[in-house]
Chain A
Amino acid sequence: MGDHHHGPAKGLSRWLFTTNHKDIGTMYLWFSFAMFILGGAFAMIIRAELFQPGMQLVEPAFFNQMTTLHGLIMVFGAIMPSFVGLANWMIPMMIGAPDMALPRMNNWSFWILPPAFLILASTLFMEGGAPAFGWTFYAPLSTTYAPPSVTYFIFSIHVLGLSSIMGSINIIATVMNMRAPGMTYMKMPLFVWTWLITAFLLVAVMPVLAGAVTMMLMDIHFGTSFFSAAGGGDPVLFQHVFWFFGHPEVYIIILPAFGVVSQIIPAFSRKPLFGYASMVYATAAIAFLSFIVWAHHMYTVGMPIAGELFFMYATMLIAVPTGVKVFNWITTMWRGSMTFETPMLFCIGFLVLFTIGGFTGLMLSIAPADFQYHDSYFVVAHFHYVMVAGAVFSMTAAVYYWLPKWCGRMYNETMGKTHFWISFIGFNVTFFPQHFVGLAGMPRRIPDYALQFTDFNMMSSIGAFIYGASQILFLYNVIATIVAGKPTSEEKVWDGAEGLEWTVATPAPYHTFETPPAVR
């Protein structure tokens, strides 16, 4: 067995063969950032094309490939792996465990991701082009009318799903089984709680996504008729199966973000989180409700009226636990001695903008109103408020918050704050006008538009370039911190921070908590 107090191995084999949760977390984080840049580059192409009406830069077919790959890469390549990376780094440290429960499988869950995305990206160079049917890949666009590269797309989705399932099983086993003595469930940091519930969601719905792409594969290559009415199937069946995965998926994306915000806001308000227990129950309620609202994405497919109503009311119900959360975050700040370091700024940005996204969601949940909004830029604005200003902002906050613990160096605060303000402004300039063009009738996923939408689209494009550029600053700041940031060895980098991760040395040693700490 050898000496357990060794440091990391040298060279490439450290990363390829590692079983260490911190190494694996680091790889997830860097990989997701690379995907964020790639997906971002595709978004820049989209916004450049939409800068003016008329056909500018790219062919419509290529435009469709860009919107498709942008969505897929951001959801499956950037946001999801980034939170898995954070889970890997933080969960063992937060619950006082020596590592993840199943370390070798942990490494495998990571390493199948890069080749899967390589295959997905390589479809761009295949005959017939990359998938062009949107990130929601509705049949029959993705079956009867799909380019041949769809087969590679299907298999890469399978591999991504496998990675997510293994990753979540690992997280569940870690949280259920590896908590230090005294770390009862109701003492767990909220980040751990939200990830535990997210992991349940993942294990429940990733297999359903696998089922959806399997049915596609069979329809395309083996003559089945799941999604073909001529054979007695139904293209709408695809949407049901997809959204049964898809709606829980959006909560898979946002719940860990809720967790992050629930860690950071108390730290910089110097007050414990308001309503801890209600936060846990609200998270569980959201997760439960997320299974019975999927058809709010399908109001316009021609569902029976009873279905429309059921899904409308169920969807509106989600606003209740979500409201509980927003209330608790605000109340945590109430009369706190607040300071506004970069992580806190991103969390407050999250709070304001995510709430706007929640409200537009509520508007969309009204079935008769959604008949107008559906497939318009209003929907695009809605989900970017929740996914970018929600998930990505909170992920950014997390990086600033824990980076000093990870590498023992402080980031440059001025640069961090600059990054926040450019991001915040760039984001709003990009997506706020999209509400207006959407309400005025501009459809999504079309490379050209009517003249009256020009001004708002120009604003959107300029905002997008600003937001994109601010990420370069972020990258620079992170690298500069790692190589030359001001060293710090304080265990508790932030004076208001709570939790076991702040009791270990800074930078966090390669192995932490080999013997479990005592919790209160």
Chain B
Amino acid sequence: MSDQATTHEKYYVPEKSAMAALATIGLITSTFGAATAMNQATFGNGESSFTTMYIGLCIFAATLFSWFRTTIKENLAGMNSAQLKKSYVIGMFWFIFSEVMFFAAFFGALFYVRTLAGPWLAGEGEGGAWNHLLWEGFQYSWPMMQTPQEAVGGVSNQVMANMGTFTSAHKSMAFAEVDAWYQWLPMWNTIILLTSSGTVHIAHEGLLSGNRSRFNLWLGITVALGVIFLSLQVVEYYEAYAHFGLTLNSGIYGSTFFMLTGFHGFHVAMGTIMLAIQLIRSLKAGHFTSDDHFGFEASSWYWHFVDVVWVGLFLFVYIL
């Protein structure tokens, strides 16, 4: 058929490799360690040790490092056919798609609570018949500043027992809560992240036109913007905990706020590290040519992805 190459380069099938086994040891040690430590904290006497988890994570990180190093070396040695490179592209694309679906679960939870469960708890609609039995007096609003538990006067007044103790924030992250517009961190973070998508694009164009210093400069700026974003996020979390009373414990508003922004922040951190590694590769080793720079391209796709997620967050967590 005409849509396929008639002459085939040999597909590179790597020799035996210990990396999968090592990565398994790292992954399993860290997850087992994490589970054990969490259980010690919640069900034990409160003392917990995350040492096992950290050991596992170190093994894992070291393995990934050498895994990627091997892959890069293979590419530099010319072992990768055009076809194999396409496999990497497809792999990265569907990996990002799976990340999209992970966020979709949390966005879905947010929409469900905001449009259905919240109003029902307050007695509205077909699902609301139990309000006067269980959560008398609970009013629904978003951001939810008073949990149903507090509306009935705390755990001791709850009809249903043993569901945990929740507090509420006295201040939300909404725009209405700040005194002056420029004090609203999410706006700055939006500007920063949108800009960084542009700068990473400029860096890409620099690379495509063979202008390495332009590539390095704009990639460096992108990494810096990522770091600034994360720092502001830390400031915001500090504010939330220290001054707003907004914590993981503050009912469903705190739960969705921290899980969505937290996982997003984690992904920004990953993306920043990925881009920083590409920057180091370019600066120290002169990697990447105008027609062969998948490591950078994949990282930049990832970066655009976290950017798009942020736009969703900004709309549905902060504004609407």
User: Which A residues are within 8 Å of any B CB, using their own CB?
Assistant: 1-2, 4, 9, 13-14, 16-20, 97-99, 101-105, 107-108, 111-112, 115-116, 119, 140, 144, 148, 151-152, 154-156, 158-159, 162, 165, 168-170, 172-174, 176-179, 181-182, 184, 203-208, 210-212, 214-215, 217-226, 228-234, 236-237, 240-241, 244, 302-305, 511, 514-516
Q: Given A104-B67, A148-B39, A221-B42, do A229 and B248 touch, yes or no (CB 8 Å)? A: no
Q: Is chain B's interface secondary structure helix, strand, loop, or mixed overall?
A: helix
**How many Å from the CB of A187 to the closest CB on chain B?**
9
Contact in complex: B102, A210 (CB < 8 Å): yes
User: Which B residues are within 8 Å of any A CB, using their own CB?
Assistant: 1, 3-6, 8, 10-11, 13-21, 23-24, 27-28, 31-32, 34-35, 38-39, 41-43, 67, 79, 83-84, 86-88, 90-91, 94-95, 97-99, 101-102, 104-106, 108-109, 112-113, 117-118, 120-121, 125-127, 134-135, 144, 147-149, 155, 158, 160, 162-164, 166, 247-249, 251-255, 258-259
Contact in complex: A206, B98 (CB < 8 Å): yes
Which residue in B41, B98, B160, B166 is a CB contact (below 8 Å) of A231?
A: B166
Q: Given A205-B101, A208-B105, A515-B8, do A232 and B121 touch, yes or no (CB 8 Å)? A: yes
> In whole angstroms, how far apart are the Cα atoms of A206 and B97 in the complex?
11
Q: Given A119-B32, A208-B105, do A221 and B38 touch, yes or no (CB 8 Å)? A: yes
Contact in complex: B98, A232 (CB < 8 Å): no
Q: Given A104-B67, A208-B102, A223-B164, do A231 and B97 touch, yes or no (CB 8 Å)? A: no
Contact in complex: B163, A182 (CB < 8 Å): no
Q: Determine the residue in chain A with the shortest Cβ distance to B250.
A: A231
Q: Determine the residue in chain B with the shortest Cβ distance to A19.
A: B14
> In whole angstroms, how far apart are the Cα atoms of A337 and B17 in the complex?
48
Which residue in A104, A112, A179 is a CB contact (below 8 Å) of B14?
A: A104
> In whole angstroms, how far apart are the Cα atoms of A67 and B96 in the complex?
35
> In whole angstroms, how far apart are the Cα atoms of A165 and B24 in the complex?
15
Which residue in A2, A116, A241 is a CB contact (below 8 Å) of B109?
A: A241
Q: Given A177-B86, A225-B255, A244-B108, do A208 and B20 touch, yes or no (CB 8 Å)? A: no
The CB with the most chain B CB atoms within 10 A, among A156, A218, A228, A240, is that of A228
Q: Determine the residue in chain B with the shortest Cβ distance to A158.
A: B31
Q: Determine the residue in chain B with the shortest Cβ distance to A155.
A: B31
Q: Given A177-B83, A204-B97, do A232 and B118 touch, yes or no (CB 8 Å)? A: yes
- 20 A-B pairs, CB-CB below 8 angstroms? A16-B18, A20-B13, A102-B88, A148-B42, A152-B39, A154-B35, A169-B94, A176-B90, A182-B1, A205-B101, A207-B99, A207-B104, A211-B105, A211-B109, A215-B105, A228-B166, A232-B147, A232-B166, A244-B105, A516-B8
> In whole angstroms, how far apart are the Cα atoms of A304 and B112 in the complex?
13
Query: Which chain B residues lie closer than 8 Å to A304 at the CB level?
Result: 125-127
Which residue in B8, B90, B105, B158 is a CB contact (below 8 Å) of A241?
A: B105
Which residue in B35, B102, B118 is a CB contact (below 8 Å) of A211?
A: B102
Which residue in B6, B24, B106, B255 is a CB contact (below 8 Å) of A112?
A: B24
Q: Determine the residue in chain A with the shortest Cβ distance to B118.
A: A232
Which residue in B5, B117, B158, B249 is a CB contact (below 8 Å) of A237?
A: B117
> In whole angstroms, how far apart are the Cα atoms of A240 and B251 in the complex?
19
Query: Which chain B residues lie closer than 8 Å to A215 at the CB level?
Result: 105-106, 109, 259
**How many Å from the CB of A344 to the closest CB on chain B?**
33
Query: Which chain A residues lie closer than 8 Å to B134 at the CB level?
Result: 229
Contact in complex: A229, B135 (CB < 8 Å): yes
**How many Å from the CB of A340 to the closest CB on chain B?**
38
Q: Determine the residue in chain B with the shortest Cβ distance to A232.
A: B252
Q: Given A212-B105, A232-B113, A234-B117, do A18 and B35 touch, yes or no (CB 8 Å)? A: no
